[in-house]
Each structure stands twice: as structure tokens, then as C-alpha cells.
């Protein structure tokens, strides 16, 4: 990817780097991104920054700012940017493409060493492992395994694609895809061969997932999906077409992006959120029924046990009312699938206990 400015002779004779780092960034994570970019530039990478908050000028004070490619579109994610600005023909000169999130710590990560392992192991799609002691780990299978060099699986947080694998993966992205819903489960089709061997996590090179709010979201934002899903937008249209989240064998295809449903708009432990709460007032008949359901033998129960039993009685009352109103009752037993940890193929089926 050659810059269009500057003397033509200089651009032609310059030797381009063979690998690309593309990362969606916001000014709030400037210091973290600075550490990432400096480490990759030092290893001869071309760097492309996707500015999702439309703030570009405030990066000019960094000495390397003029050496990287800046693309700015408000309120878009890395997959939206990737679909539009990383067409396989445009990035065909790069051997490997790192398509990363911005909230990643790289203190113990060496890009050159990581690529050396990727090449030695023949990995077409890979990612560095996550340091389990310091990271927010969404899938334990991406956590670093000690005394291991590589193990199978790739998440969409910090993927690394070979040129051929990216050409395949790019075509799997929908034109208006905001987040890569379920793409991590489909990457095996782009493995250029045996997906159990050509897709993997590099354990000896690891990063830290800091789990910081992105897309300009602050800790004080209310946990409300309507703040992010506006009528008539591509995200709203996609959610409307999906209608609901679809649950498959040991996984699901979300109606809304995971960063919304699992992070930004989710109540999570040890994370401050502004949220609405509701006080339930039980009608008198239910309260009386609960009181009459307990005999004197329970009068010495502790308050927690009493509350749990009250809730159980209330649940039975509400369930009976649904049945009385001809609600659907499923009599079939619930089953559980046993999945291969490497290929994620179903191995066996059993009863859910």
C-alpha cells in the first residue's frame, strides 16, 4: 500500500513492509494504541488506524503519526472498516494481516517472534494467546497454555490472517456487518487445508485483553441498547432481519453484536453501570398464598431461606397461571451435545442433568 503524497520517485523506490496491522482506535485509548503501534512499527509493519470517533488531529503529536495510514468514519467498528478498506486486492502485497482491537496490552508480545512461530507451524489463521492472569477472557480456549507452543482456536479480538486466508475471510463478511457475529466458528473454511492444523493460538506469544469500553463509550453510560441501535441504521436493519438470537449446538448467533449484549449493555461483576431498576409489588392474593404455604416448622428458618422459599412459591403460582391461560408446555426432555474441543464438531448426545 503506497502513499499517494510525496515525490513519486521516493514512493516507488521505497521498500514496502510485508505485513499489516489494522486497528480500530479511539482517542480515549491513545496511550494503549501508542504502545501497540510503536512495537509493530519497530518490526517493519505498515500500520492503518481506523478512527471510529472521528478524532484524528489529536494523534498528530505522536512522532509516528505521519508514518501510518489514518481512516476516519464516525461510530464504525473494525469489521465495517475492514470490509471497505481492506479488500484482498488492496492488501495483496502483505503476507500477514493483523486485524486487532485497541484494548490489548503488548508488553510481553513480540510481533516478529509471533510471525516466526506462525510460519513454522503453518498457521493460516492465528492469534496470540491471552494472559489469563491479567486478561478479561471471553473464551477460556484462547487463554495461554503453559508448556505449549500452539493450540487450536481463534477469536475475533486479535486475529492474524495470511494473505490467502484473508481473501477467503473477507468474502465471508457481509457488506453491512458491524461485528463479526459467529465468524470465529466459520474461519475453518478459510484455513487453506486442515483447520485443526492451520488455525491456532500461539501460546508462547501472549497479550493482555484489558476489556476496556470502546467506540467512545464511557463508564457512565446507561446500560441501554437504544443508545447504540438507532432506527434506520444498518445495525437496526440487521437486527430486524435476525429477529432474535439463534441458539445452536454449544453456541449462539446473536441478534445484536456481542460487545453490546455481553459488555457495553450488560451488567457485569465489578463494573460500575448506570442502570434502571424495578421494584416488584406482589398482589395480595399471592402474598397470602405464600404466607399460608408455610407451617410452623419453618418459623425458625433464617431470612435467606425464607426468601428463597417465598420465591419458589411465587414461581409456582405464576407458572400455574400461565398454564391456566393455555401456555405452551414442552414435555420433551432437554438434551446436551458433547463437542470436540478442537474441531467443535458434535461427538455425542445425552440427557441434560
Instruction: Examine the pLDDT at 215 and tell me if it is beyond 90.
Output: no
Q: What is the pLDDT of residue 319?
A: 86
Q: What is the pLDDT of residue 320?
A: 87
Which of 92-101, 153-162, 165-174 has the weakest average pLDDT? Answer: 153-162
Bridging pattern class, strands 19-25 and 96-100: parallel
Q: What is the pLDDT of residue 282?
A: 58
Residues shown for the chain: 353
Domain ranges of the chain: 8-209, 217-277, 281-353
The three three-digit cell numbers of residue 52, written as one number: 471510529
Mean pLDDT for the chain overall: 80
CATH of 8-209, picked from 3.90.550.10, 3.30.70.1230, 3.30.360.10, 3.40.50.1220, is 3.90.550.10
Band of residue 214 on the pLDDT scale cut at 50, 70, 90? low
What is the distance between the alpha carbons of residues 116 and 104, in angstroms, rounded to a whole number?
Answer: 21
Most confident range (mean pLDDT) of 70-74, 176-180, 188-192 is: 70-74
Instruction: Examine the pLDDT at 220 and tell me if it is beyond 50.
Output: no
Q: What is the pLDDT of residue 197?
A: 85
Q: What is the pLDDT of residue 15?
A: 55
Instruction: Examine the pLDDT at 99 and tell me if it is beyond 90.
Output: yes
Instruction: Examine the pLDDT at 142 and tell me if it is beyond 80.
Output: no
- For the chain, what percent of residues have pLDDT higher than 90? 35
Q: What is the pLDDT of residue 293?
A: 47
3-state SS class at 336: strand
CB 127 within 8 A of CB 192: no
Q: What is the pLDDT of residue 71?
A: 96
Q: What is the pLDDT of residue 17?
A: 54
Q: What is the pLDDT of residue 16?
A: 55
CA distances from 85 to 75, 88, 98, 142, 179 (A): 16, 9, 14, 28, 15
What is the distance between the alpha carbons of residues 231 and 217, in angstroms, rounded to a whole number?
Answer: 19
Q: What is the pLDDT of residue 295?
A: 45
Q: What is the pLDDT of residue 296?
A: 44
CB 105 within 8 A of CB 208: yes
Neighbours of 184 (CB within 10 A): 21
Instruction: Examine the pLDDT at 153 and tell me if it is beyond 50.
Output: yes
DSSP 62: S
Q: What is the pLDDT of residue 254?
A: 85
Q: What is the pLDDT of residue 124?
A: 94
Instruction: Examine the pLDDT at 57 and tell me if it is beyond 50.
Output: yes
Residue 96: what are its φ and ψ, rounded to 5°?
-135, 145
Q: What is the pLDDT of residue 302?
A: 64
Band of residue 105 on the pLDDT scale cut at 50, 70, 90? very high
Tell me what the mean pLDDT of segment 134-158 comes to.
Answer: 78
Band of residue 325 on the pLDDT scale cut at 50, 70, 90? confident
The three three-digit cell numbers of residue 7, written as one number: 515525490
User: What tens digit of pLDDT does each residue of 59-98 get?
Assistant: 999 999 999 999 999 888 888 899 999 999 999 999 999 9
User: What tens digit of pLDDT does each residue of 263-315 get?
Assistant: 777 777 777 666 666 666 555 555 444 444 444 444 455 677 777 787 888 88
Neighbours of 144 (CB within 10 A): 22
Tell me what the mean pLDDT of segment 218-223 comes to.
Answer: 49
Instruction: Examine the pLDDT at 7 and tell me if it is beyond 90.
Output: no
3-state SS class at 112: helix
Tell me what the mean pLDDT of segment 35-64 comes to.
Answer: 95
What is the distance between the alpha carbons of residues 231 and 254, in angstroms, rounded to a whole number?
Answer: 19
Which of 15-19, 200-204, 289-293 has the weakest average pLDDT? Answer: 289-293
Neighbours of 102 (CB within 10 A): 22
Q: What is the pLDDT of residue 174?
A: 76
Q: How far is CA 51 from the centre of its chain?
A: 18
What is the distance between the alpha carbons of residues 333 and 351, in angstroms, rounded to a whole number?
Answer: 7
Amino acid at each position: 500500500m503506497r502513499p499517494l503524497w510525496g515525490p513519486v520517485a521516493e514512493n516507488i523506490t521505497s521498500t514496502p513492509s510485508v505485513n499489516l496491522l489494522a486497528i480500530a482506535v479511539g482517542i480515549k485509548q491513545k496511550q494503549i494504541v501508542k504502545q501497540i503501534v510503536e512495537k509493530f512499527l519497530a518490526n517493519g509493519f505498515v500500520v492503518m488506524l481506523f478512527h471510529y470517533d472521528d478524532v484524528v488531529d489529536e494523534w498528530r503529536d505522536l512522532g509516528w503519526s505521519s508514518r501510518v495510514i489514518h481512516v476516519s468514519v464516525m461510530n464504525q467498528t473494525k469489521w465495517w472498516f475492514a470490509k471497505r478498506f481492506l479488500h484482498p486486492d488492496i492488501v495483496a502485497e502483505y503476507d500477514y494481516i493483523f486485524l486487532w482491537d485497541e484494548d490489548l496490552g503488548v508488553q510481553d508480545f513480540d510481533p516478529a517472534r509471533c510471525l516466526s512461530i506462525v510460519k513454522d507451524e503453518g498457521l493460516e489463521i492465528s492469534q496470540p494467546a491471552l494472559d489469563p492472569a491479567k486478561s478479561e477472557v471471553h473464551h477460556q480456549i484462547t487463554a495461554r497454555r503453559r508448556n505449549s507452543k500452539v493450540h487450536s482456536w481463534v477469536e475475533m479480538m486479535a486475529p492474524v490472517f495470511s494473505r490467502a486466508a484473508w481473501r477467503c475471510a473477507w468474502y465471508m463478511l457481509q457488506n453491512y456487518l458491524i461485528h463479526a457475529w459467529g465468524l470465529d466458528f466459520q474461519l475453518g473454511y478459510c484455513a487453506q487445508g486442515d483447520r485443526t492444523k492451520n488455525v491456532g493460538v500461539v501460546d508462547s506469544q501472549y497479550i493482555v485483553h484489558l476489556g476496556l469500553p470502546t467506540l467512545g463509550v464511557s463508564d457512565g453510560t446507561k446500560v441501554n441498547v437504544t443508545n447504540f441501535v438507532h432506527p434506520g441504521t444498518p445495525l437496526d436493519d440487521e437486527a430486524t432481519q435476525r429477529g432474535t438470537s439463534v441458539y445452536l449446538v454449544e453456541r449462539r448467533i446473536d441478534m445484536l453484536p456481542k460487545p453490546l449484549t455481553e459488555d457495553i449493555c450488560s451488567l457485569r461483576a465489578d463494573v460500575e453501570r448506570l442502570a434502571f431498576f424495578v421494584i416488584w409489588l406482589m398482589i395480595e392474593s399471592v402474598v397470602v398464598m405464600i404466607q399460608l404455604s408455610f407451617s410452623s416448622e419453618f418459623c425458625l428458618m433464617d431470612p435467606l431461606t425464607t426468601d428463597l422459599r417465598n420465591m419458589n412459591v411465587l414461581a409456582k403460582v405464576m407458572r400455574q397461571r400461565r398454564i391456566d391461560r393455555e401456555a405452551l408446555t414442552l414435555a420433551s426432555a432437554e438434551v446436551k451435545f458433547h463437542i470436540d474441543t478442537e474441531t467443535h464438531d458434535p461427538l455425542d448426545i445425552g440427557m441434560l442433568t
